[in-house]
């Protein structure tokens, strides 16, 4: 296990429209761990485990937590986040990189392959929520617009109930109230609001150029959590793997398996890397 007190030095890189917070651990081949909207802190346990023999780069996506925007109302698109990743990899000067992107971070990583393939050699796209790859995309778009509108109207718990229902994730009522009701951390609320208002739609409505990805030099592995069977991101990830002509790789845990079981996740990731 990584040390619970692990704290990597805070660093910042100026990019167009933002200051990006990033952290670097360890030495060796470069691994980038990225989420959206998850920040660097969510990946710290996994980063500590991988840093024993890798240089590990983590970051807060633009507009989230410590990555400040010039324009707080700017939309967070996969293309913008891919450009940010390319600049961070170039700045660290240890690439080309292996990139593990999870959820919206997997969408960012795929956009990175399309726009900057020379910066990466392997991408593990873990459960990207690419609803445009599914036949029921129109229904899912309607549901997304509804839950975003519910959140922006002030019904936070109601919006999350709709989100989890659409995602196919069972969340008990008491847990929902504990997580999203009552007093909450202001930073968490600010990041959450940005995700609903300026990030969710751009990430889930993005359609990858699967023909270009099939022809790209970087290796692309589609990851699915072992506990995610039947969930929305299981179906979107399976659809992506099929479009790329590959079989998905199973990872421990569910949609946030790297948080739930970082040790087992790191072990599985190392196997995937050895196969690249």
- What pLDDT score does 246 carry? 95
Bond before 116 cis per omega within 30 degrees: no
Task: Judge contact between 255 and 231, C-beta under 8 A.
Answer: yes
What does the pLDDT average to over 191-212? 97
At residue 4, does pLDDT exceed 60?
Answer: no
Higher pLDDT, 47 or 170: 47
Which residue ranges make up each domain of the chain?
Answer: 11-135+201-274
pLDDT at 5: 46
pLDDT for the residue numbered 64: 97
Residues 63-110: tens digit of each pLDDT:
999 999 999 999 999 999 999 999 999 999 998 999 999 999 999 999
Tell me which residue has tokens 């986040």: 81
**Whether 34 contacts 105, CB under 8 Å:** yes
- CA neighbor of 171 nearest in space, from 60, 180, 8: 180
How high does pLDDT run on average in the chain?
A: 94
Q: pLDDT tens for residues 255-274?
A: 999 999 999 999 999 999 88
Q: Compute the distance between CA of residue 113 and CA of residue 109 in angstroms, rounded to an integer.
A: 6
For residue 150, CA distances in Å to 26, 81, 158, 212, 240 come to: 43, 26, 7, 36, 29
Residue with more model confidence, 241 or 180: 241
Nearest CA to 104 out of 7, 200, 241 is that of 200
Q: How much is the pLDDT for 8?
A: 79
Q: What is the pLDDT of residues 171-189, one digit of tens each?
A: 888 888 888 887 899 999 9
pLDDT score at 2? 40
Model pLDDT, residue 7: 64
Burial (CB < 10 A; 0-12, 13-18, 19+), residue 63, is buried
Q: What percent of the chain has pLDDT over 70?
A: 97
- CATH tag for 11-135+201-274 (out of 3.40.50.1820, 3.20.20.70, 3.40.640.10, 1.10.150.650): 3.40.50.1820
pLDDT > 90? residue 1 = no
**CA distances (Å), origin 111, targets 141, 210, 245, 273:** 20, 11, 18, 20
How far is C-alpha 164 from the chain's CA centre? 17
For residue 6, pLDDT beyond 90: no
């Amino acid at each position: 296990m990584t040390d619970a007190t692990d704290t990597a030095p805070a660093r910042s890189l100026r990019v167009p429209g933002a200051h990006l917070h990033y952290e670097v651990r360890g030495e060796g081949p470069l691994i980038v761990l990225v989420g959206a909207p998850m920040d660097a802190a969510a990946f710290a346990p996994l980063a500590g485990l991988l840093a024993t023999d890798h240089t590990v780069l983590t970051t807060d996506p633009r507009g989230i937590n410590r990555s400040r925007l010039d324009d707080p109302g700017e939309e967070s698109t996969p293309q913008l986040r891919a450009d940010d990743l390319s600049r961070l990899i170039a700045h660290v000067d240890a690439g080309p990189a292996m990139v593990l992107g999870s959820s919206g971070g997997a969408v960012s990583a795929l956009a990175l392959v399309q726009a900057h393939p020379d910066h990466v050699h392997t991408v593990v796209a873990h459960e990207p929520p690419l609803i445009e790859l599914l036949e029921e995309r129109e229904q899912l778009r309607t549901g997304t617009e509804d839950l975003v509108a519910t959140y922006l109207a002030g019904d936070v718990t109601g919006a999350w109930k709709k989100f989890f229902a659409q995602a196919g994730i069972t969340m008990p009522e008491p847990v929902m109230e504990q997580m999203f009701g009552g007093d909450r951390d202001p930073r968490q609320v600010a990041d959450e609001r940005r995700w609903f208002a300026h990030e969710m739609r751009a990430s889930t409505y993005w359609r990858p150029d699967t023909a270009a990805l099939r022809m790209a030099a970087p290796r692309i592995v589609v990851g699915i959590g072992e506990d995610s069977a039947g969930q929305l991101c299981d179906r979107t990830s399976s659809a992506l793997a099929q479009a790329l002509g590959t079989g998905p790789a199973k990872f421990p845990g569910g949609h946030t398996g790297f948080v739930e079981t970082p040790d087992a996740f790191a072990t599985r990731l190392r196997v995937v890397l050895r196969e690249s």
